[in-house]
Amino acid sequence: MLGLSLLVNLGLLCYFKYLFFFADSIVSLFHIFNITITLPAINIILPLGISFYTFQTISYTIDVYRGFIPPERDFVLYGCYVTFFPQLVAGPILRAGEMIHQFVNRPLFNLYDIGIGVRRILYGLFLKVVLADNIAPLVDTGFAQPVNLMSALDVWTLAFLFGFQIYFDFSAYSHIAIGSARLMGIRFPENFNFPYMATSPRDFWQRWHISLSSWVRDYIYLPLLGVPVHDRSVGGLPVDENRQQKSQKGNIALFVTWAIMGLWHGASWGFVCWGIYHAILIFLYRVTTPLFNNLSEGLRKIGGWMITFPLCMLGWIFFRAQNLSDAFAMYAKIVDPREYLSLGLRENYYLIAALVVMAVIACCYFKTSVIPIIRRQMLLATVIETGVFAVIVGLVFVFLRPINQFIYFQF
């Protein structure tokens, strides 16, 4: 039954999402040998959020097979788990062991949950309509221009801008989904934890899209290694280093996992290259880590962040470039010293990118250093929080536009 369930789920996903990708790849391969193949015209409408709920149904089947959870006999409860609307189209990717028991033990009305839910929704709306949607026009215009008109600094700037756009956009949806579920007393796992403050590629994937990276860890990466898996969507993809991970088998598992991770995001070789790019970063991190063990912890963290942050931003070029050739052309400019002698974008591009970098660093500092101090003084914390959310609500109403969908709806 496990094989049949996986065959049905993966078969539907491949048909709706990857049929044209595989077909075009085969046509291109035959074209190399001067063989022309004509494919029949087929119109396929991609179901919204198919990648997310397919992974959820696969995780349920495998967790039952592994003995992590008992089979659910109530189809309504199982249907609620698969189709629970707050996260249906863009995650977080939930596991049956985290969710079904919450539907069985239905929570009572709770003002505390209502308050947290409303705050998370407002915060998500702020990230989406105030930040992500106002960066989007710059990104769209910048990536639409010919690559030969860009300088290396332009490429860096556009990579940073899109990196912030996709973070604000996807994090916004996760906040709204978590908040919407919390209104009903349902608790979702966190999906982001200040990923751009990561001090290593390994750390980045413990902070970014945690539910997906944890899913890939437990259903692809660790099984390829033959290592015991987890039963919770927390912790991200990387796990504690061991000899098996550093072996040739571990390296193969790493690159296979990341290729699949990239392909999950979209039927394009650009996404596969994005996955391989991150696999290379993690591999290099593993190889070079022993070289810096003699440095102080503070120096390792600061130096690690200064390297990880721009490298992760560069990876988004594969994600956003018009095509694969444009992506490689943009990377070529980055490694060419002559391309740093000119600027091709308007001044506001560089200014906004710099301001957002400083704002993200400041927010992280306040969250980790200032907010814990403020929370010790209840009255002061209440006044500040009220003022902050009053500003957030005002800005949301000013910038709210019903035209920009969430980026991850396409996945």
Q: Looking at 344, 369, 403, which one is the last position of a domain?
A: 344
Instruction: Find the domain containing 242 and state its range.
Output: 113-344
Residues 142 and 71 placed together within one structural domain of the fold: no
**Look-up: residue for tokens 């990341």?**
258
Is there a contact between 120 and 179 (Cβ–Cβ < 8 Å)? yes
In-domain check, residue 301:
yes
Q: Which two tokens stand for residue 308?
A: 């990880």
Start-to-end Cα distance in the chain: 28
Q: Looking at 289, 322, 344, which one is the last position of a domain?
A: 344
In-domain check, residue 141:
yes
Residues 27 and 120 placed together within one structural domain of the fold: no
CA–CA distance, 175 with 181 (Å, rounded to integer): 10
Residues 228 and 149 placed together within one structural domain of the fold: yes
Residues 52 and 144 placed together within one structural domain of the fold: no
CA–CA distance, 126 with 133 (Å, rounded to integer): 10
Claim: this prediction has a pTM higher than 0.95: no
Query: Looking at the annotation, which residues are catalytic?
Result: 265
In-domain check, residue 408:
no
- Contacts with 87 (C-beta within 8 Å, 6 or more apart), sequence order: 52, 93, 94, 177, 181, 188
Residues 75 and 156 placed together within one structural domain of the fold: no
Residues 203 and 262 placed together within one structural domain of the fold: yes
Q: Based on the number of CB atoms within 10 Å of its own CB, is 17 exposed (0-12), middle (13-18) or buried (19 or more)?
A: buried
Residues 93 and 144 placed together within one structural domain of the fold: no
Residues 55 and 133 placed together within one structural domain of the fold: no
CA–CA distance, 139 with 317 (Å, rounded to integer): 11
Q: Looking at 42, 71, 104, which one is the last position of a domain?
A: 104
pLDDT 10s digit of each residue in the chain, 411 long? 677 888 888 888 887 887 777 777 777 777 777 777 776 767 777 777 788 888 889 999 999 989 898 998 888 888 888 888 888 777 788 898 888 888 888 778 888 899 899 999 999 999 999 999 999 999 999 999 999 889 999 999 999 999 999 999 999 999 999 999 999 989 998 999 889 999 999 999 999 999 999 999 999 998 888 888 877 777 776 655 554 555 777 888 899 999 999 988 887 888 999 999 999 999 999 888 888 777 777 888 888 999 999 999 999 999 999 889 999 999 999 999 988 888 888 888 999 999 999 988 888 777 777 667 776 777 777 777 788 778 888 888 888 776 666 666 555
Give me Rg for the CA atoms of the chain. 22
Is there a contact between 81 and 102 (Cβ–Cβ < 8 Å)? no
Residues 225 and 300 placed together within one structural domain of the fold: yes
Domain count, the chain: 2
Residues 16 and 97 placed together within one structural domain of the fold: yes
